Amino acid sequence: MSYGFDTLQIHAGARPDPATGARQTPIYQTTAYVFRDADHAAALFNLQEVGYIYSRLTNPTVAVLQERIATLEGGAGAVCCSSGHAAQIMALFPLMGPGRNVVVSTRLYGGSITQFSQTIKRFGWSAKFVDFDDLDAIEAAIDDDTRAVFCESIANPGGYITDLPAVAKVADKAGLPLIVDNTSATPYLCRPIEHGATLVVHSMTKYLTGNGTVTGGVVVDSGKFDWAASGKFPSLSEPEPAYHGLKFAETFGPLAFTFHGIAIGLRDLGMTLNPQAAHYTLMGIETLSLRMERHVANAKKIAGWLETHPNVEAVTYAGLPSSPYAGRVKTVCPKGAGGLFTVTLKGGYEACVKTVDSLELFSHVANLGDTRSLVIHSASTTHRQLTEEQQVAAGAAPNVLRLSIGIEDADDLIADLGQALEKAHQ
């Protein structure tokens, strides 16, 4: 039986608790699990039997969340971890090694730009930043040491949609996995695997949980990539010395990446999601489609209103007919362009800061994807560590505000923006 999205977001992965019949998924607040006997313990450690050993690796509450997100994304399996940034490291970890690189889009969440341009160098990895509208440039950046291509679907800080089918084609031709950060779109608006993505990562901190209570991440594997074809991914295709010579691709087939993520990634990197956080995210996902519909409707209305405001220079929202990326919405995220966009103010940096300080209903926070509306001046905060050139490339120039439109009454949000813009230009 195949169910629709609204049904799966509530039921996928969950079943009444076998011990008590509890209808809601219990929070299994336990570190370890009792082995039936010594043979059972050995089978679990050999990965010959799937079960629970220790909550750094697996936990029943987290497992329900993993299955639910894998289902919603159309993937074979998923591994939850402690944050969106952890998910990015967990996605790259089995693929990379010293001297290897990843080709990434310039249009990324500010923290991802820092993670890729600076921090991963400590592992001997590197990132090559490319304008992903230039497919030839992506192809030219790929070399013998490239192990993955990485982009966001609806890219932070909003207004940009990556042409996923075209980028997937480039990655495919080079025999490389495409990793898509689907945080801003969620599987309700965009399903990257259907467009050719190999892996999908999320910051569950944002729309999946949806109300600003949790830090979490997830890596979803499509199960479709042939890890053995090129010899470039020995950790998955060859005997893995970190797991007594186990060959993950041969042993687990489409679940190779998922099992590797648990048996080696979580075991040794330890970026584990806790069961309480998994519970909050499961609660959030139950209403994902309802929230995303309202986020999109509100964003459309507010972006359209802002576009005609005399103190506004430009609005970049792909859901507006004026957007150069409006055409991509139809193919990449047909249910809408999300709830994030940027607005460029007349009056530059000064007007931006004054507007932020005058807003009453919008909260000035470094977050997005909350039920409540949020605003940030990226250039002075999240994108502060970047050069002005990087800021502009990332859509976070000094005269730009990023709005994360919540699910309140659109008219109240418009009234709040109206009074703040007026104050900023007095």
Ligand X SMILES: *Cc1c(COP(=O)(O)O)cnc(C)c1O
From candidates 100, 107, 206, 383, binder to ligand X by CB under 6 A: 206
Interaction between residue 85 and ligand X (CB under 6 A)? yes
Helix (H) or strand (E) holding 374, with range, is: strand 374-376
User: Is the CB of 256 or the CB of 401 nearer to ligand X?
Assistant: 401
Interaction between residue 83 and ligand X (CB under 6 A)? yes
From candidates 184, 222, 235, 404, binder to ligand X by CB under 6 A: 184
CB of 112 to ligand X, least distance (A): 5
Measure the CA–CA gap between 94 and 194, rounded to whole angstroms.
23
Q: Which of 342, 235, 238, 216 is nearest to 282 (CA)?
A: 216
By CB under 6 A, the count of residues binding ligand X is: 17
Q: Which of 130, 159, 211 is nearest to 316 (CA)?
A: 159
The angle at the Cα of 402, spanning 399 to 408, to the nearest 5 degrees, equals: 140
Mark 363-392 with x for binding to ligand X (rule: CB under 6 A) and - for no binding.
Answer: -----x------------------------
Candidates 64-72, 201-209, 247-255, 379-387; binding stretch for ligand X (CB under 6 A): 201-209
Candidates 107-115, 133-141, 328-336, 403-411; binding stretch for ligand X (CB under 6 A): 107-115
CB of 86 to ligand X, least distance (A): 7
Interaction between residue 109 and ligand X (CB under 6 A)? yes
- Classify 80 in phi/psi space as left (phi over 0), alpha (psi -120 to 50) or beta: beta
From candidates 13, 77, 94, 111, binder to ligand X by CB under 6 A: 111
Measure the CA–CA gap between 401 and 351, rounded to whole angstroms.
10
Mark 127-156 with x for binding to ligand X (rule: CB under 6 A) and - for no binding.
Answer: -------------------------x---x
From candidates 13, 75, 84, 339, binder to ligand X by CB under 6 A: 84
Distances from the Cα of 225 to the Cα of 71, 249, 256, 265, angstroms: 18, 10, 10, 19
Candidates 106-114, 246-254, 307-315, 329-337; binding stretch for ligand X (CB under 6 A): 106-114
Interaction between residue 187 and ligand X (CB under 6 A)? no
CB of 88 to ligand X, least distance (A): 7
User: Is the CB of 202 or the CB of 232 nearer to ligand X?
Assistant: 202
Q: How many helices (H) and strands (E) does the chain have?
A: 18, 14
Report the C-alpha dihedral over residues 236, 242, 243, 244, rounded to 10 degrees.
120
CB of 338 to ligand X, least distance (A): 11
Q: Which of 360, 358, 371, 369 is nearest to 402 (CA)?
A: 369
Candidates 61-69, 82-90, 125-133, 242-250; binding stretch for ligand X (CB under 6 A): 82-90
CB of 147 to ligand X, least distance (A): 20
Beta bridge partners of 102: 127, 148
From candidates 12, 120, 153, 181, binder to ligand X by CB under 6 A: 181
Cα end-to-end span (Å), the chain: 61
User: Is the CB of 277 or the CB of 351 nearer to ligand X?
Assistant: 277
Mark 339-368 with x for binding to ligand X (rule: CB under 6 A) and - for no binding.
Answer: -----------------------------x
Measure the CA–CA gap between 199 and 217, rounded to whole angstroms.
13
- Full DSSP string of 276-338: HHHHHHHHHHTTHHHHHHHHHHHHHHHHHHHHT-TTEEEEE-TTSTTSTTHHHHHHH-TT---
Give the DSSP letter of residue 131.
Answer: -
CB of 308 to ligand X, least distance (A): 29
CB of 114 to ligand X, least distance (A): 11
Measure the CA–CA gap between 53 and 33, rounded to whole angstroms.
6
Query: Interface residues with ligand X (CB under 6 A)?
Result: 83-85, 109, 111-112, 152, 156, 181, 183-184, 203, 205-206, 215, 217, 368
